[in-house]
Structure 1
Amino acid sequence: MGRKEDEVLELIRRNPYMSQQEMAERLKISRPSLANMISSLIREGKVLGRAYMLPEKGTVICIGGANVDRKFLLSEPLQMGTSNPVSATKSAGGVARNIAENLGRLGHEVKLLSVVGRDNDWQTIEEGSAAFMSLELTETLRELPTGSYTAVLDTDGEMMFAMADMEICDLLTPEHLSRYESVLLSAALIVIDLNCPAETVSFVQQLAESREIPLAVIAVSAPKMDRLGATLRGITWFVCNMDEAESYIGEPIKTDEQWRHAVWEFVDLGARNVAITAGERGVMAGNIQSVQHFPALPIEEMTDVTGAGDAFSSALLHGYLNTFAFPDVVKAGLTNAIKTLESPLTVRTELTAAGLKNEMEELQ
């Protein structure tokens, strides 16, 4: 690339909305020459259309749920039909948002693409998220309230049941995402959770496949597995738990052989890498080369299950982005999940890339 091209990129970097005429005058070249130069830079992927957006190398775009988590930890065993004493907490949550925060704490540049209401819950999300991700792609809307997730946990911190109001995510349509297509095309990795409508998941899959952009699809619940299409082509990583896998394939998964076969089914449908988690039984993960079982890591004391699945997905993707060997990619996920289970927080505040590396070494 020549000196003039460098000068063009510097002008665009300073002001992406500068007209070609003004740019040509600054550079003392003809406007047609400048137009040819910009066209060449666009073809090379150094500039992304109008406004002349520069590719954001290394940026992860997380698409999906951003909500407020409300957790009620029972002080005593649940008694139906009466009031039960609990300790209550409120924090920023949502699968896509949680993954974005984990990745941000691990040192990645992250942007959250979501929709939220113009309400106090959005303020909670903003306050808990802004330090770890860009929120410029998250739009506030008047039509619906910010999504919410409410969980009731037993005295040991295990989830008894949960309720999620994520209707606002239905507004994450292909038309909405197409407004940010240039940003998606520049991503090092796109992560989408299945809070998004089925047609949106399909739209992102097709975009990722056609432009060879790594894509991770993260399941959120068994009822929402119908948002995953019949083909998984274009998906670099697919992560779900055993209940979600059973819901999609329509068969029970009881034995290790059935578990292994479920991974193969997802791979056969087009996913390049698949991980199916099963709590204390560990993870079954693989690709077209092989499928293997990874035992769960030892846990000192479980405090709260909320966020453990998102922690697994996040650290797994951190390993993938840092070109870890396949077993270490999965072990990174398992390590972060265990440490999150031991924490009362949905995303643990001590998480760093160096810290995760040390924890992986300690738990081997």
Structure 2
Amino acid sequence: MTDREHEILKLVKQNPMISQQELADHLGIARSSVAVHISNLMKKGEIRGKGYVIGGEQYVVVIGGLTRDIGGKPFSNLIMEDSNPGTVKTTMGGVGRNIAHNMSLMGIETKMLTAIGDDNVGKTIKNHSPHEKLDFSDVLAVRGQETATYLYIADQNGDMVSAIADMRVFDFISPDYIESKKSLISNAKAVVLDANIPTETMLKLTEIYDGPIFVDPVSTEKGRKLKTFLKYIHTLKPNKMEAEMLSGVSIVDEKTLKEAADILLNAGVKRVFISLGRDGVYAASHNKTIKAPIMPVKLANVTGGGDCFMAGLVYSYLNDLTLEETVKFSLAASAMAVEGEQTINEDITVEKILARAGIQ
């Protein structure tokens, strides 16, 4: 949708019986122009029928990684090249999957597109969603492949010592797979990507979807493919190192931070939120910038904050929050995520996030 169509749709949601002349007067444009926008919105399925009834199921599509995470931690000092008594835990992860799960906790109907193996893990994933608003029915199960697995060993303090990531199945998130889901994708309110998917698949998406695309670079290595994709991105959420890689600017102070963000915006990104770790977040659009500190937290895990922050960005967009409110909401969501024992904090609700953020 265009910016003007977004404006009109927002007004229609507020007053479904509003006339085209009233819309024109409110927006300061000709009634004939409103008629064209209304026609386009009807063609896109955003509104329909008498009184501009809002059309269809509203949902977001997430295209990205889903993994099985297996982690081992010794009871005492880790002894290299030896067997260590300790604990082994298996959880479900992946950047895309974690974002999708957090979005579902925020009440967003979410449909996941990814590739898994036809192993027992994949079959379990396909048939058992962790939340009623998270739909795995369109996930691709690839015959003869193993579900992506991240295997790591931590030391006695919980810090990772080494890991192996088997992500080969993600190569099957192909342009043909995306094409087969064209109807599902084209009717989404937003699409979220993580950089686990192949470059050609990202480009295919732009042929069938003209709505807002939210992107998480995942890592500096995987995020390199985004350099030629920036003009298609609505909202980008890199960390400091990823922002440096994508902009070509070494971020050492406020001036270079702004310079990096400006380069990304000038490349076509509409909004960028640069995570600065303990120094908070730098948010920039084409008409405003905000630097905000992280919220005080009782840290219980260090892995869930970024994915929940991205989910917060999507929720904020869908609910027309301002840039300042978006930052507050997403930081509050991130804070709540890292206070949970697991990567996904099942206690998260929109009401709790809004209260934590101080948004009325």
Q: Same fold (TM over 0.5)?
A: yes
Q: Name the residue aligned to 1:44.
A: 43
Three-state SS of the structure 1 residue aligned to 2:231 is coil
Q: Name the residue aligned to 2:204.
A: 203
Q: Name the residue aligned to 2:219.
A: 221
CA change 1:84–1:277 in 2 (3 A) is: farther
Per the TM alignment, residue 248 of structure 1 is displaced from its structure 2 partner at its CA by 2.7
**Structure 2 gap ranges (5+):** 1-38, 47-54
Three-state SS of the structure 1 residue aligned to 2:230 is coil
Structure 2 residue 109 is matched with structure 1 residue 112? no
Q: Kindly provide the CA deviation profile for residues 163-208 of structure 1, in whole angstroms up to 9, marking residues without a partner as x.
A: 4222111111112101111111110011111000011112223543
Residue identity matched to 1:279: G
Q: In 2, are the aligned partners of 1:91 and 1:128 still within 8 Å (CA)?
A: no
Structure 2 residue 358 is matched with structure 1 residue 361? yes
Structure 2 residue 187 is matched with structure 1 residue 186? yes
Structure 2 residue 165 is matched with structure 1 residue 168? no
Say which of 308, 311, 330 aligns to 2:308: 311
Q: Name the residue aligned to 1:138.
A: 139
1:80-99 equivalence runs, <5 A: 80-99=80-99
Say which of 216, 229, 254 aligns to 2:252: 254
Structure 2 residue 72 is matched with structure 1 residue 72? yes
Distance (Å, rounded) in 2 between the aligned partners of 1:278 and 1:74:
31
Say which of 269, 284, 287 aligns to 1:286: 284
Distance (Å, rounded) in 2 between the aligned partners of 1:129 and 1:216:
23
Per the TM alignment, residue 314 of structure 1 is displaced from its structure 2 partner at its CA by 0.7
Q: Name the residue aligned to 1:335.
A: 332
CA change 1:341–1:154 in 2 (3 A) is: farther
Q: In 2, are the aligned partners of 1:198 and 1:226 still within 8 Å (CA)?
A: no
Per the TM alignment, residue 327 of structure 1 is displaced from its structure 2 partner at its CA by 1.2
Residue identity matched to 1:44: K
TM-score (norm 1): 0.78
Q: Kindly provide the CA deviation profile for residues 131-156 of structure 1, in whole angstroms up to 9, marking residues without a partner as x.
A: 34111210111132111123444555
Residue identity matched to 1:93: G
Q: Name the residue aligned to 1:271.
A: 269
1:7-22 equivalence runs, <5 A: none
Per the TM alignment, residue 84 of structure 1 is displaced from its structure 2 partner at its CA by 4.2
Per the TM alignment, residue 265 of structure 1 is displaced from its structure 2 partner at its CA by 1.5
Q: Kindly provide the CA deviation profile for residues 47-101 of structure 1, in whole angstroms up to 9, marking residues without a partner as x.
A: 9xxxxxxx74421001111111223345445454444454332122111111111
Q: Name the residue aligned to 1:150.
A: 151
Structure 2 residue 334 is matched with structure 1 residue 346? no
Distance (Å, rounded) in 1 between the aligned partners of 2:81 and 2:221:
27
CA change 1:356–1:154 in 2 (3 A) is: farther
Aligned length: 314
Q: Name the residue aligned to 1:232.
A: 230
Further displaced range: 69-78 or 313-322: 69-78
Q: In 2, are the aligned partners of 1:157 and 1:304 still within 8 Å (CA)?
A: no
Three-state SS of the structure 2 residue aligned to 1:299 is coil
Distance (Å, rounded) in 2 between the aligned partners of 1:315 and 1:331:
9
**Structure 1 gap ranges (5+):** 1-39, 48-54
Distance (Å, rounded) in 2 between the aligned partners of 1:56 and 1:66:
28
Distance (Å, rounded) in 1 between the aligned partners of 2:282 and 2:119:
41
CA change 1:131–1:220 in 2 (3 A) is: same
TM-score (norm 2): 0.79
Distance (Å, rounded) in 2 between the aligned partners of 1:101 and 1:221:
20
Residue identity matched to 2:148: G
Identity %, equivalent residues: 28
Q: In 1, are the aligned partners of 2:336 and 2:348 still within 8 Å (CA)?
A: no
Q: Name the residue aligned to 2:62.
A: 62
Distance (Å, rounded) in 2 between the aligned partners of 1:70 and 1:241:
25
CA change 1:350–1:114 in 2 (3 A) is: same
Q: Kindly provide the CA deviation profile for residues 296-323 of structure 1, in whole angstroms up to 9, marking residues without a partner as x.
A: 11122x2221222111111121111111
Quote the RMSD (CA, aligned, Å): 2.7
Q: In 2, are the aligned partners of 1:95 and 1:310 still within 8 Å (CA)?
A: yes
CA change 1:284–1:163 in 2 (3 A) is: farther
Q: Name the residue aligned to 1:28.
A: none
Residue identity matched to 2:134: M
Three-state SS of the structure 2 residue aligned to 1:196 is coil
Q: In 2, are the aligned partners of 1:93 and 1:125 still within 8 Å (CA)?
A: no
Q: Name the residue aligned to 1:243.
A: 241
Q: Name the residue aligned to 1:102.
A: 102
Distance (Å, rounded) in 2 between the aligned partners of 1:180 and 1:158:
40
